[in-house]
Amino acid sequence: MFERISKVIGNIGKIPELRQRILFTLGMLAVYRIGAYIPTPGVNGNALSAYLHQNGGALIGFFDMFSGGALSRLTIFALGIMPYISASIILQLLTVVHPSLQALAKEGERGRKVITKYTRYLTVLIALIQSFGIAIGLESMNRGQFVPHPGWPFRILVVITLTTATTFIMWLGEQITERGVGNGISLIIFSGIIARLPSAILNTYKLYNQGEISGFLIIGLVVMVAVIVGSIVFIETARRKVPVQYAKRLVGNKMMGGQSTYIPLKINTAGVIPPIFASSLIAFPATIASFITLPWIQNIGKSLAPGSFSYTLLYVLLIIFFSFFYTAVVLNPADIAENMQKYGGYIPGIRPGQNTSTFFYGIMNRITLVGALYLSLVCVVPELLIYKLHVPFYFGGTSLLIVIGVSLDTAQQIESYMMSKNYDGFLKKTRIKGRAS
């Protein structure tokens, strides 16, 4: 295994374009991690961090998962990439129901650029609202001990700083997607989770030495992580193979077609998008609530804290909704059936055209339901166990799902670059062989 990995790394060095893309990605992620430690002007960051860790509990840990710890320290990257994700959700939902946006989505590259521009504008608007809420909340939190000089100058400074930083993070993500490897937004979240791993291990060791957690609990956590990782890898690489037969056709003087193959449908077509979108929607009101001391707003924040019944129910419902929604966006059964019919393909026992489309609708609904339930279990069950066991730090299946899912997606993209240059990649070679009839 190690010999294969070293060989793959050597092959990466032989492909200049791939090497440059990987180095560019690592450089952009390094810039993001540096920004996560630059303090926001006018805020006593150290005192605020200590207060939030003492009183924030699982809620702050949940937010920090997406900001790489920047929120609890209230650095310039405190809002993280969440405003961009929220804007993307809103635009995708509007695209389904708004005719003009539907028309744009069908215009190809031009339409995609226009929708991306709208997403950027909406990201800035959401960041303005969230940053203003945080500024107001900081002034009243703990009797104003975290803001030496409150007032409108401070509020304007915080709004400009956090909104500009969020816009910069959005730009970093887009640059990684275009000029690097993998999905830039997902990799930014991934880097934030990974960056907190060493401190989480160290804190666990300290808690064990202090007698706050037992060795059996640590062993139980390790076993749970291993089971979750194995389950994620199994489901994320699982496929539902739909057999396809291509009829023989006379092209010129040659007989073409007559082969059997299959269409591989992922069990979890939506990937890590549903839990990320669901977390973003929950985090939007809860972020504001965590910085405002009004009792009724604090109650909203507590009701949306990981481990609570309302949080769990809302999280599961959103994951299921976005699983079906995003799968419908990515895969259109009618288009699949039309393309198959165009090239002479058909599913044995199913008539081409509308019957094939209906067949794919049925399959996709079933596997999407399985994928949605899998995502819900992976994201929610570990959090409930941690809550019931009274583990004094945040640990969730969502973070494991994102780390493994993003790792697999990025590895597959690197694999495709290497295979295009006739180099072996991370995965063993597999070929779909046609069978002449």
What is d(CA 74, CA 325) in angstroms, rounded to the nearest whole number?
A: 34
What is d(CA 292, CA 41) in angstroms, rounded to the nearest whole number?
A: 19
What is d(CA 258, CA 221) in angstroms, rounded to the nearest whole number?
A: 53
Looking at residue 433, its pLDDT comes to 37
CA quadruple 67, 73, 75, 79: dihedral sign: positive
CA distances from 135 to 57, 156, 326 (A): 21, 8, 34
Q: Where are the domains of the chain?
A: 2-436
CB atoms within 10 A of CB 65: 24
What is d(CA 25, CA 247) in angstroms, rounded to the nearest whole number?
A: 45
Tallying the residues shown for the chain, one arrives at 437
Looking at residue 49, its pLDDT comes to 79
Looking at residue 111, its pLDDT comes to 86
Please list the pLDDT of the chain residue by residue as tens digits (437 residues): 556 556 666 777 778 888 899 999 999 999 999 999 999 998 887 888 777 777 665 566 667 777 777 887 889 999 888 899 889 888 888 887 888 888 888 787 888 889 999 999 999 999 999 899 888 888 877 677 788 888 999 999 999 999 999 999 999 999 999 999 989 999 998 998 888 888 778 878 888 888 878 888 888 888 888 888 898 889 988 888 888 887 766 555 665 556 788 888 999 988 888 988 888 788 767 666 666 666 776 677 677 777 778 888 999 999 999 999 989 888 888 888 888 888 778 888 888 888 989 999 999 999 999 999 999 998 888 877 777 766 655 566 788 888 888 888 888 888 887 877 666 555 554 443 333 33
Closest CA to 138 of 48, 35, 37, 46: 48
CA distances from 432 to 200, 264, 333 (A): 43, 10, 22
**420-437 tens-digit pLDDT:** 766 655 555 444 333 333
Mean pLDDT, the chain, as a whole number?
82
For the domain made up of 2-436, give the CATH fold. Answer: Preprotein translocase SecY subunit (1.10.3370)
Closest CA to 32 of 1, 87, 77, 69: 77
Looking at residue 32, its pLDDT comes to 94
> Hey, is 156 helix, strand or coil?
helix
Query: Do the Cβ atoms of 248 and 258 come closer than 8 Å?
Result: yes
- Match 């930014």 to its residue by tokens: 188
Residue type, 318: L
Q: Largest Cα–Cα distance of the chain, in whole Å?
A: 86
Looking at residue 3, its pLDDT comes to 61
What is d(CA 209, CA 189) in angstroms, rounded to the nearest whole number?
A: 31
Query: Do the Cβ atoms of 157 and 41 come closer than 8 Å?
Result: yes
Q: What are phi and psi of 262, to 5 degrees?
A: -150, 160
Looking at residue 431, its pLDDT comes to 40
What is d(CA 191, CA 412) in angstroms, rounded to the nearest whole number?
A: 18
Structure tokens at 73: 């320290």
Closest CA to 69 of 167, 203, 161: 203
Looking at residue 437, its pLDDT comes to 32
What is d(CA 81, CA 123) in angstroms, rounded to the nearest whole number?
A: 9
CA distances from 291 to 29, 36, 131 (A): 28, 19, 10
What is d(CA 205, CA 199) in angstroms, rounded to the nearest whole number?
A: 10
**33-89 tens-digit pLDDT:** 999 999 999 888 788 877 777 766 556 666 777 777 788 788 999 988 889 988 988
Which H or E run contains 265? Answer: strand 259-266
What is d(CA 313, CA 206) in angstroms, rounded to the nearest whole number?
A: 33
Reported pTM: 0.81
